[in-house]
Amino acid sequence: MCGIVGYVGSRNSVPLLIEGLKRLEYRGYDSAGVAVLNGHGLETRRAEGKIAKLEQVLAVTPAEGGLGIGHTRWATHGPPAERNAHPHLSNDGTIALVHNGIIENYAELKQGLKAQGYVFHSDTDTEVLTNLVQELYGGRLEDAVLAALERGEGTYGIAVVSTRDPGKIVAARKGSPLLVGLGDGEHFIASDASAILAHTREVVYLNDGDLAVVRKDGYRVFDMKATTLDRPVAKIDWELAQIERGGYDHFMLKEIFEQPQTLENTMRGRVVLEDGMSKLGGINLSHDELLTIDQVIITACGTSWHSALIGEMLIEDLARIPVEVEYASEFRYRNPIVTPNTLCIVISQSGETADTLAAMREAKRRGAKTLGLVNVVGSTIAREDDGGIYLHAGPEIGVASTKAFTSQVVALALLALKLGRKRQLSSVRGREIAQALLDLPAQVKQILDRAPEIEALAERYKDAQNFLYLGRGYNFPTALEGALKLKEISYIHAEGYPAAEMKHGPIALIDENMPVVFIAPHDAVFDKVVSNIQEVKARRGRIICLTSREEHMLEGLVDHEIRIPPTLDMLTPVLASVPLQLLAYYIAVKRGANVDQPRNLAKSVTVE
């Protein structure tokens, strides 16, 4: 899986493909390649590693042509290597194919093709699909692709070209995002709109089961029965500057510093201060439907799962509705209790996370109402949910999520406020929460103004081998998120834990070499956290304490203090996560890590 881009038109496709692949670098990848169709046949160039390596290959052996496809690969079948890089060629050299996803029955298909004399040069499932298209070719490329996909089982976003049927790209999707970009005398395909934003703002999103034939003068979308479909044209409403670094050293740092604005964007037009209410027009639930909800399930992965844990406490606290948080990857493989009065909230920055999408579909199948919290307009979850809340955080390029996380927490707070005010939450309490939400952007700005202090702290701890993050209540998920950020980008082992549970195991790890980060704002459990700090201090742990005001109880206990502004207990994760993001960022930079593209990770995980 990872990134796909294609072009058909009058221009040389290679520079456009390379440009598009660079726009997709943020998704994470381990190799890259292009295939170009011209009057001389089908030419491919591939390289393991970064796109710069592919550019070096192209500098030595140039290729050009008005039709081409490109790919960045994140390994699933076979290690990162040039032989496993896409595009893959068929045995006869007439067909090139790029693929995101997994063909689950590839071994069976491969065995059958081998019996017919096909030879394989890679470890991938994609090469199997490519040769299957060759085997089934009968005069039109789209017919062969359709027939191959009928035999294949699994997920895919593919683009296919052939010398035997030139002038067209055949694209198809099932479980992996793909879109068609519309131009004047030229057309594009891509797995992400950012790849083609410099050339068009009009796109057609393909649904699962859709295929498309794309030519320079037009396109056609059809289903697996070859019936032509009418898919709407969507407009991309964000600017090219939003996917560029804008003077920052890394996208991650830019996105951390964007949070005052992104939080405002998430709340804009949604907070009704005078009534202590939130206005969420996109949830598509009537007053009566909101009142009949008697159970909430929140399902997500990674960072989004951490925001879900905060959402669980928010909804139970304000609306008094029981909430369960599920790993999306586990939800559909057990037998969850779901009724027509269940609201299933699915959280995904990209709106394309395969496990989360599958969990949403399972919840809908069982009769639940579904509500998506996503950041990408037109994403699959946004199109398939019953209602949703867009985060409006703008494109997030850094693989390690920052601004999307804080926007998710705020969106969940807005939802909890709405559910609470529909029930027993008073207008006085509602106004207090609404005002605290509106104060968050300025408070985040105060924290960001002190970034140099956190950078100096990072210098002290950049060589640590392990970190422990501890918090209680609303800040246990914050501890999990802080640890995840550090391990993702710096490759330091880090663990988040409930502070009180530390003595039931992790305390064995604590010595003078173990930095321990406590999230200890002056909240309802502050005194209890101080007791946990004392336990670490007694074992000579090095204590970094994140707190919200000067506290005599901390004197002599902590080695370093990070101050955040005071807010309501339920909103401390928004403020507390920002210095933890900065700490992880600065430590990773000082260790020489690739902050925006950490090893082995992908921004949008579109395979199970």
Give the whole-number percent of the chain exceeding pLDDT 90: 65
Give the residue ranges of DSSP H helices in 422-474.
Answer: 427-448, 451-461
- Residue 512's pLDDT is 81
Give me the mean pLDDT over the 95-113 stretch.
92
Q: pTM to 2 decimals?
A: 0.78
Residues known to be catalytic: 2, 603
Q: Report the mean per-residue pLDDT for the chain.
A: 90
- Residue 149's pLDDT is 95
CA atoms within 13 A on the CB side of 439: 14
pLDDT at 606 over 60: no
Pairing, β 466-471 against β 493-498: parallel
Is there a contact between 354 and 173 (Cβ–Cβ < 8 Å)? Answer: no
Which segment of 111-120, 434-443, 484-493, 512-521 scores lowest on mean pLDDT? 512-521
* Superfamily the domain 2-236 falls into: Aminohydrolase, N-terminal nucleophile (Ntn) domain (3.60.20.10)
CATH fold group of domain 451-590: Rossmann fold (3.40.50)
Alpha-carbon gap, residue 198 to 255, rounded angstroms: 21
- Tell me which H or E stretch contains 543: strand 542-547
Contacts of 334 (CB under 8 A, 6+ apart): none
pLDDT at 490 over 80: yes
pLDDT at 537 over 90: no
For CATH 3.40.50.10490, the residue range(s) in the chain are 245-447, 451-590
For CATH 3.60.20.10, the residue range(s) in the chain are 2-236
- Residue 550's pLDDT is 78
**In which band, very low, low, confident or very high, does the pLDDT at 4 lie, cut at 50, 70 and 90?**
very high
Give me the mean pLDDT over the 271-299 stretch.
92
> Tokens in use for 454?
């956190």
Please say whether the structural domain 245-447 has been given the CATH code 3.40.190.10.
no
**In which band, very low, low, confident or very high, does the pLDDT at 578 lie, cut at 50, 70 and 90?**
very high
**In which band, very low, low, confident or very high, does the pLDDT at 387 lie, cut at 50, 70 and 90?**
very high
User: How many residues does the structure list for the chain?
Assistant: 608
- Residue 422's pLDDT is 93
Which segment of 72-76, 126-130, 274-278, 284-288 scores lowest on mean pLDDT? 72-76
- Residue 408's pLDDT is 97
Which segment of 53-62, 237-246, 417-426 scores lowest on mean pLDDT? 237-246
- Residue 607's pLDDT is 52
